[in-house]
Chain A
Amino acid sequence: MSQTALQSEPPLKGVTVVEAVSAACPLALRLAIGLAGRIAADLGARVVMLESRDGCPMRDLAPKTRNGDSAVFTFLAAGKRSATDHGAVAARLLAGADAVLADTERSDVPEAPPLRVLLSMFAVGATTTVIPWPQSEFTVMALGGLLDMVGEPNHPPMRLGGHQLAYAAGLAAYAGLVAGLLRRPSREVARVALLDVAVWLNWKSPIGVARMGTLASRLGRDSEWPVLRCADGHVALVYQPADWAALCRLCADARLDDPRFADPGARRLHATALADVLEAALGHLTRQQLQDRAMALRLPLGPVWTIDDLRSDPQMLARAFLTQAHGIPRLPVLWNGMAFPTGAPPARAMEDGA
């Protein structure tokens, strides 16, 4: 396979990015800034995270690695440098940076960097009375409708695992960073609001209300794409109307000839009954068997692989997706077939003497 390390100069070589967060910065924004900086570091930027004298709180955040380090810090700080967020060193780093990634509460971010990427929980100019009130990634997911879309209808709304919203804001912050770099030598400010990112991700729901009068909400097992049991775990039964014939071939079950399942509209009305039939028809197959047969039939089914499964997954191995040193993902892009190398997370304040 072609996934060797990049030989040519990385695209952000020569760019210095400083991560500067306020003491009160919400965890969600720390995570977002951390991810944006991680992407920039992999792409060749010199990324310096300013840490308080007590160390970045993410150094202690669960889950932990086998060594007892924070897995979050190991992932997000890979390839970065660290400096103490105090005094002349921090001021010099900020003044000399091409860009700063910061939360809007960070009051001492100087005008000096030509590009500032500023993150907040709510959009600047929003007028809601809840703005001064505390929010978490979870409660912003609630306000953005993301929780309403996941889980079973009569059960509590559900978040997806990990930090999907915070990291999505991190992707947006990196996009804002590169957009700002393209504006050089003009000065620019890129702004990312966590709630706006949530609504942007969940656009179909408010757009459906505004333009079609339809209100989507979580359907769980009653959805068109249910998660079903199989012989050794679960499979997400993802398919399109055009895949129905192939799905019937996979199942080889006469119960699917039932008029209740004759067309997409009928299947939608009888989704729970259909899920029961499909589960009975496919339940004897393993995830690997389902994946092999889905590939042969060009069906978009999704066997539910665990993180442990993925560590030895043939596709992940073939594309060298996990780094050897820490087992964390490399940047998910190959540049002319080559992967960007991922560095190690920094010891504390390695640049204080710089």
Chain B
Amino acid sequence: MKRPLEGCRVLDLGIITAGAATAALLADLGADVIKVESPSYRDPFRVWTPRAGLVMADETSPFFQVTNRGKRGISLDLKHPSGRDAFLRLAARSDMVVENFRRGVLERLGIGFAALTAANSRMILASISSQGEDGPMAQYVSFGSTLEAVGGLAAVSGDAGGPPVISGKELNLPDQLIAIFAASMVATAWLARQNGGQAVHLDLSQRELTSFMLGEQFAAAEVTRSGNAHAAFAMQDCFKVRDGWLAVSVLPHQMAALGEVTAGATLADWGAGRPTAACVEVLAVTGIAAAPVLDGAGVLAARGAMWSTALVDDPCHGLLKGFPFQLDQALLRVLSDAPAIGADTRQVLAEVAGCTEAEIDALLASGAAEGT
């Protein structure tokens, strides 16, 4: 069973979520993904914690593990001439590079698009950045929620008359979205290459994707913040019920039925003394969409019953990030754990770059490479 990206090799310079999660999806689709770190620069996600001040002692952060599963790992100092040369030898035998460095870093390291295509005339380079490759703000730096603010999402999120709202550090929505979109654009470039396409530099601006995800707002005559309400529904909001929050969407033609259910009381008053499950059941019978607002524990408890592919099991380490879609035949799969730093340096340099043992020893001895 040939997987969609089988036969495709990716050099993954991605860090934290945006770049690294893009490359992870490529691995799920069958690509051979080699995560490239440096003796002097690790993926910051290795020590990322769910709360500031919560220090990961010796253990790699689960956030890193769940995002970088399915990859091999190599450590090369790209600032070292020998390390850069080794990287370009890898590029000559690879198909794609994924990166989300600050703009200009790739060129300063001597591995920009021109250098990559000199090494490999059919290279696909996916550059994920905050603002895009050019323009007056190309050097602006961001983390996920920055994009919500500068891309227009925050301005249309929140209650009318209240402050703008962002998804925040724990969700960081734009960094999740770019991984799906960037992986799909890389796969599109791979498809074009199968049809004779040549080298491609994909310029992916996270700010533009954030705005694209609000596309209709740009065409609208009037843009407003409306909290949980939506024009397609006569009423849509969350209500405090006895044991939590209840989310409800009521279509215009359902308002009369809702009035009968609540005997004319407001939904807030009607639900106040009732448990969520009972509220959901009564409303569902009338055709009204309703659901409990689940927290992370509630979401986890619904695994298997309500959702399946989003997270997957790892026999050694517990749950891993799964897939936003699935194929019936060529299943998306996670085939290995996240790599330790430089775990596959020798193997990759020998197998992919074609380095001799003596060359690998010299790279390790000079500090241009590290690992086993």
Contact = CB atoms under 8 A, between A and B. Distances in A.
Interface in A295-354: 295, 298-311, 314-316, 318-319, 321-322, 326-329, 331-337
A23 B217 CA distance: 26
Given A126-B305, A334-B133, A142 B300 contact: no
A203 B327 contact: no
Interface in B127-169: 131-159, 163-169
A127 interface: yes
Interface string B174-201: 0011001101110111111011010111
A197 B310 contact: yes
A280 B323 CA distance: 43
Given A172-B180, A199-B299, A328-B218, A191 B139 contact: no
A206 B319 contact: yes
Interface in A88-109: none
Contacts of B298: 145
Given A63-B221, A304-B154, A175 B227 contact: no
B47 to A, nearest CB: 11
B315 interface: no
Interface in A213-248: 214-219, 223-225, 227, 229, 234-236, 238, 240-241
A291 B137 CA distance: 10
B219 A332 contact: no
B4 interface: yes
Contacts of B324: 168-169, 171-172, 175, 192, 196-197, 200-201
A63 B220 contact: yes
Interface in A30-63: 39, 43, 61-63
Contacts of B308: 123, 125-126, 193, 196
B106 to A, nearest CB: 15
A143 B292 contact: yes
A181 B200 CA distance: 19
A168 B167 CA distance: 15
Contact of B63 (A63, A204, A218, A310): A204
A128 B295 CA distance: 17
B309 interface: yes
Contacts of B91: none
A218 B238 CA distance: 14
B97 interface: no
A238 B144 CA distance: 9
Interface in A118-148: 122-123, 125-128, 130, 133-148
A142 B172 CA distance: 17
A178 B310 contact: no
A255 interface: no
Contact of A149 (B134, B139, B168, B309): B168
A327 B214 CA distance: 12
Contact of B53 (A1, A174, A268, A300): A268
Given A171-B177, A172-B180, A333-B185, A302 B288 contact: no
Contacts of A310: 151-152, 211, 218
Contacts of B194: 182
A304 B155 contact: yes
A134 B284 contact: yes
B265 interface: no
A140 B307 CA distance: 11
Main secondary structure of the interface of A (DSSP, over half): mixed
Nearest to A317: B135
Given A189-B327, A203-B321, A234-B163, A319 B171 contact: no
Interface string A61-98: 11111100011101110000000000000000000000
Interface string A5-39: 00000011000000000000001000000000001
Given A182-B191, A300-B141, A143 B181 contact: no
Given A216-B170, A238-B146, A336 B134 contact: no
A210 interface: yes
A286 interface: no
A126 B306 CA distance: 5
B289 A139 contact: yes
Interface stretch (B77-85, B240-248, B346-354, B364-372): B240-248
A158 B293 CA distance: 10
A139 B248 contact: yes
B306 A315 contact: no
A145 B294 CA distance: 5
Contacts of B330: 179, 183, 186, 188
Contacts of B50: 204, 208, 212, 214, 216
B2 A183 contact: yes
Interface in B205-227: 205, 207-209, 211-223, 225-227
A190 interface: yes
Contacts of B52: 224, 241, 264-265, 267-268
Contact of B297 (A128, A209, A268, A303): A209
Closest 4 CB pairs of A and B: A265-B53, A302-B149, A161-B156, A205-B296
Given A63-B216, A157-B247, 6 more contacts: A63-B223, A70-B216, A130-B306, A160-B165, A326-B219, A327-B219
27 contacts: A63-B217, A71-B220, A126-B308, A128-B305, A139-B249, A143-B292, A149-B167, A156-B245, A157-B293, A164-B153, A175-B184, A189-B328, A190-B326, A195-B306, A203-B66, A204-B170, A214-B51, A215-B295, A227-B149, A238-B142, A238-B149, A265-B53, A314-B135, A319-B135, A331-B212, A333-B204, A335-B189
